[in-house]
Amino acid sequence: MGRRLLFWGGGCVAAVAVFVIAVFVVTGRSAHSLPRFAEKSANAIPVDVELVLAVDISYSMDTDEQALQREGYRLALTSKQFLQALREGAHGKVAITYVEWAGQNDQQVVMPWRLIDGPEAADAVAAELGRAPYRRASRTSISGGLRFSSKLFDTSGYRGLRRVIDVSGDGANNSGPLVAPTRDEVVAAGITINGLPLMLKRPFSGMMDIEHLDIYYEDCVIGGPGAFVVPIRDRSKFIEATRTKLVLEIAGRIPAPHVVPASAEKPRIPCTIGERLWRERWGGGMDFDDLN
């Protein structure tokens, strides 16, 4: 995949530096120039970012984690750091939609595209998210969530300088298309994918959990210009991390890079590990013997 770039919180913009609590990982593909999107509608509203918040609701996510995930985004959207980043944008506007995903064919738009251009709009969006009911479903198809989310940009009604899918979840892909090729398809369309792997519980083999989910996200899920991962290992840091990640996405900024030596690079976790674990436990499915 080429060289990887690591970013540490200390190099972040001043407005969010104090909140950066994790290592940000950017793929080699981030060296590409930012894509320009043609206006598909004469009425498309120009915004700084079109952002899909795509969140995992599979059964491995307990109810407390679901509530924490939702609350993290609600508080991030109304934070002074987010609103400051919003004001500093070229248009001072962002468009956001909230999607929940689980199995291959289980994706749902919880909140359609909404424009945020100031505190009142941010409060309204946060309140709408707070009213949405919770649900859980079987399997984990990150690839299905990515494909579903990528199509939402076509009919958003907005024209963003950047298009971003923010994926959060607590497990590896085990349903639907393979995640790495799907990631590549989405990135090729000019969309950046950022990751928020939830690592709040000790991995349990009976639940097909994997060690080092953040590395899996780095190698197999994220991609595109300026892509990064913010792992969350502590419930008390969840809201801070979510806010930091959202601010960086809206501001379109990342900390100064530190190049990792080539010797430190390796395919640390197979991108088909979720499918392998599912086959070992339940049998059947695709043959992944020849895949990485």
CATH number at residue 109: 3.40.50.410
The predicted pLDDT at position 15 comes to: 35
The predicted pLDDT at position 208 comes to: 56
Domain-located, residue 36? no
Give the mean model confidence (pLDDT) for residues 217-222: 95
Distance from C-alpha of 147 to C-alpha of 24, rounded to nearest angstrom: 24
Domain-located, residue 288? no
Domain-located, residue 85? yes
Give the neighbor-by-neighbor strand order of the sheet with 257-259: 24-26, 5-7, 257-259
Q: Is the pLDDT of residue 185 over 80?
A: yes
Query: The tokens 């990342």 sit on which residue?
Result: 254
- Which has the closest alpha carbon to 53: 67, 38, 64, 69? 69
Q: Among 6-10, 132-136, 187-191, 259-263, where is mean pLDDT lowest?
A: 6-10
Under a CB-based contact definition with an 8 Å cutoff, are residues 165 and 182 in contact? no
Domain-located, residue 12? no
Domain-located, residue 5? no
Distance from C-alpha of 168 to C-alpha of 100, rounded to nearest angstrom: 10
Distance from C-alpha of 72 to C-alpha of 240, rounded to nearest angstrom: 8
The predicted pLDDT at position 143 comes to: 97
Q: Is the pLDDT of residue 33 over 50?
A: no
Roughly how many angstroms between the first and final C-alpha of the chain, as a whole number?
A: 13
User: Which comes out higher in pLDDT, residue 159 or 41?
Assistant: 159
Q: Among 45-54, 109-118, 135-144, 273-282, where is mean pLDDT lowest?
A: 273-282
Strand, helix or coil for residue 211: coil
Q: Given pLDDT bands bounded at 50, 70 and 90, which one contains residue 289? A: very low
Query: The tokens 């959060």 sit on which residue?
Result: 168
Q: Is the pLDDT of residue 36 over 60?
A: no
- Which has the closest alpha carbon to 203: 138, 273, 100, 106? 273
The predicted pLDDT at position 178 comes to: 96
**E strand or H helix that includes residue 64:** helix 63-77
The predicted pLDDT at position 251 comes to: 84
Using one digit for the tens of pLDDT, what is the confidence trace for 41-88?
668 999 999 999 999 998 877 788 888 889 999 999 999 999 999 999
* Structural domain for 143, as ranges: 18-31+43-260+267-282
Q: Given pLDDT bands bounded at 50, 70 and 90, which one contains residue 219? A: very high
Q: Which residues pair with 115 in a beta bridge?
A: 95
Encoded tokens for 246: 């959202």
Residue 267 backbone phi and psi in degrees, to 5: -75, 85
Task: Please give the model's pTM, rounded to 2 decimal places.
Answer: 0.81
Sign of CA dihedral 122, 125, 131, 134: negative
Give the mean model confidence (pLDDT) for residues 116-131: 97
Query: The tokens 């990640």 sit on which residue?
Result: 245
CB atoms within 10 A of CB 86: 24
CA atoms within 13 A on the CB side of 30: 23
Q: Given pLDDT bands bounded at 50, 70 and 90, which one contains residue 204? A: low
Q: Among 5-19, 27-41, 75-89, 127-141, where is mean pLDDT lowest?
A: 5-19
Within 189-263, where are the H helices?
A: 213-216, 238-251
Residue burial 8-44, b: 16+ Cβ < 10 Å; e: rest = ebeebbebbeebbebbbbbbebbeeeebebeeeeeee
Q: Given pLDDT bands bounded at 50, 70 and 90, which one contains residue 263? A: very low
Domain-located, residue 193? yes
Domain-located, residue 10? no
Q: How many domains does the chain have?
A: 1
The predicted pLDDT at position 277 comes to: 78
Query: The tokens 């969140």 sit on which residue?
Result: 55
Using one digit for the tens of pLDDT, what is the confidence trace for 98-114?
999 999 999 999 999 99
Domain-located, residue 48? yes
Distance from C-alpha of 263 to C-alpha of 72, rounded to nearest angstrom: 37
The predicted pLDDT at position 254 comes to: 63
The predicted pLDDT at position 276 comes to: 85
